[in-house]
Amino acid sequence: MTKIKTTHEWVTSSYSNNGANCIETRRAAAPEIGVRDSKLGEASPVQTFGRDAWTAFLAAVKS
């Protein structure tokens, strides 16, 4: 199982290189993960995912 970092701050991947096509993630109300558009910042709508869905998504992206 993938360990999910617990944080209430928005995080952008270190691979983003300050590009304009990035997402930010954060640990929202447990056990949800929030995802938003980094270009819009606080104005961005936030999509939330349950822990199992997020873990499955990460595994699929990495494979």
Question: Over 90: is that where the pLDDT of 60 sits?
Answer: yes
CA dihedral in degrees (16, 17, 19, 25; nearest 10)?
A: 30
Structure tokens at 25: 């993630």
Q: Using CA atoms, how far apart are residues 27 and 45, in angstroms rounded to an integer?
A: 15
Does the predicted model carry a pTM greater than 0.85? Answer: no
**What pLDDT is recorded for position 7?**
55
Q: Which helix (H) or strand (E) holds 60?
A: helix 51-62
pLDDT of residue 12: 84
pLDDT tens digits along 13-55: 777 776 667 888 888 666 789 999 988 888 999 999 999 999 9
Dist. CA 1–CA 59, nearest whole Å: 9
Is the confidence at residue 2, as pLDDT, over 70?
no
